[in-house]
Structure 1
Amino acid sequence: MKPSPRPHSRLPALLALTLALLASACSLVGGGKTSPTRYDPAPRVQADPAWPTASGSLTVVMPSIDAALDDTRIAVSPTAGELQVYRAAEWVRHPAGMVEDAVLRTLEDSGKLAAVVRQGSGIATDYRLLLDVRRFQADYAGQPVPAAVLEVNATLVATSGQGVIASRNFRVSQPAAGTTVAQVVDAFAGALATLGHDISGWALQAAPRTTPAASPKR
């Protein structure tokens, strides 16, 4: 009679099968922890020489934004009313900071103002540009490829106490070349460039040609 196999001789096979099943399960739920790829869109904004020169100086205030959107994770809307994030992909900077940079750098490069500064610089300016970011996401909107959708409300205010000079809502939709994260990020770069150009040109058009008079001291 042949001796029966020893119980422990089957352990390697059982262990290999268990590990294979675990690996399969992990792939279905997204796998283990991996370092995300970090993206930093670099919009190339060309200031328009035809923009008018505005007197005085301006502060670009850090944009207000809903906490759900001001995240380093890249938001995407696959269907209407649904918001998800791309797996293993992050922004280097928060969306509010990217919008602020796109507008501030465009106004600086235009040379149409005496000075353009960030909020908190300690420099007193004649105007303040308030930005409210309402949308900053990739959106399929029923299409086979997504578009980078940015929506920002801009308000130009005189710091002398004269109140709101002008206010306008801006919406940019830049289709991506494909569905990969890198292609979507390129679309965001294009959308940020368009947004920075449009808001800067509008602000210079809306700003008075003469510096507003200071409010009388009481």
Structure 2
Amino acid sequence: MSARRFPRSASSARRADIGTRMKRTFSAVALGLAAALMLPGCSMVGGSKNVTLYSPQLKIDAQASWPTVNWPLVVARPLSSDSLDSMQIAVRPQSDTLQVYQGAVWSDAVPDLVQSELVRAFEDSGKIVAVGRQSTGVRGDFVLMTDIRQFESVYREEGKPPTVVVSIQAKLLAHPNTRVLAMRRFDVEVPAASEEIPSVVAAFNAALTQVNGDIIGWTLATGQANVSAAKPKS
């Protein structure tokens, strides 16, 4: 495993992130300019280094088994550890070591990326009357809360490409009483075709597509089975 691929530890990345957050305004401007040209794998040149922004483009097909519902849903911003609440692409070269890839980042912090893709997939499914983030003012009968437990590539065997591991804990709450109706953890592993970053990102896309699809189907079915729990009592 070459050091050029992931030379920075997660703790170093967190220290760098603190400085980045102190300059959030300037970073937002820079990312805003990049977004105008953003495609999966769009490269930005900064000084002597090239940084590639990866923006997942997931295609989640609605399943016939998913119920069509007439209640609105709020998708909360996912929780995560500090090391995952970042644009860095995480890699675990050893079981007790978390590092990040050099020269490549996500187009947004991982929790925002996961939330955006969930909202978009719910909307595109045509299975729900309304869905949105908490900040959009959508008044949902249910709230989907998620906790990103793992979102990283993992090296398990010497000489072999890593496996992408995505693990997300989901809870469905009735609104406005915030009673937890159900919870479930969704785990997916997808082997990367090679150690190269584009191959690793492709494995992330495949894993997140499956996890988000599973979360959407579970949310629709669970919410529909608990419609009465979300209705205010007279």
Aligned residue among 87, 107, 111 for 1:72:
87
CA RMSD of aligned residues (A): 2.0
Larger RCO, structures 1/2 (Cα 8 Å, 6+ apart): 1
In the other structure, the counterpart of 1:140 is 155
Q: Deviations over 1:66-98 (max 9, x none)?
A: 111122121100111111111111111111112
- State the 1:101 CA deviation: 2.1
Q: Is the contact between residue 176 and residue 187 of structure 1 (CA under 8 Å) also seen in structure 2?
A: yes
1:123 aligns to 2:141 (yes or no):
no
Q: Is the contact between residue 126 and residue 158 of structure 1 (CA under 8 Å) also seen in structure 2?
A: yes
- State the 1:118 CA deviation: 1.0
Q: Deviations over 1:81-131 (max 9, x none)?
A: 111111111111111112112222221122222211111111211000001
Aligned residue among 173, 180, 191 for 2:207:
191
In the other structure, the counterpart of 2:63 is 48
1:142-161 alignment, distance < 5 Å = 142=157, 144-161=160-177
Q: Is the contact between residue 142 and residue 175 of structure 2 (CA under 8 Å) also seen in structure 1?
A: yes
What amino acid sits opposite 2:75 in the alignment?
A: V
| Higher Rg of the two aligned structures | 1
1:39 aligns to 2:54 (yes or no):
yes
In the other structure, the counterpart of 2:181 is 165
1:214 aligns to 2:232 (yes or no):
yes
In the other structure, the counterpart of 1:15 is none
In the other structure, the counterpart of 2:33 is none
3-state SS, counterpart of residue 104 of structure 2: strand
- State the 1:56 CA deviation: 1.1
Higher share of residues assigned strand: 2
Question: Where in structure 1 do 4 or more consecutive aligned residues deviate above 4 Å?
Answer: none
- State the 1:33 CA deviation: 4.9
- State the 1:198 CA deviation: 0.4
Distance 2:178 2:134 in 1: 19
TM-score by length of 1: 0.79
Q: Is the contact between residue 79 and residue 142 of structure 1 (CA under 8 Å) also seen in structure 2?
A: no
- State the 1:53 CA deviation: 2.1
Q: Is the contact between residue 67 and residue 224 of structure 2 (CA under 8 Å) also seen in structure 1?
A: no
In the other structure, the counterpart of 2:34 is none
What amino acid sits opposite 1:55 in the alignment?
A: N
- State the 1:168 CA deviation: 0.3
Distance 2:72 2:165 in 1: 30
Q: Could you say if the C-alpha distance between residues 37 and 78 of structure 1 is closer, same or farther in structure 2, counting changes exceeding 3 Å?
A: same
Percent of aligned positions that are identical: 35
Distance 2:72 2:64 in 1: 18
- State the 1:60 CA deviation: 0.4
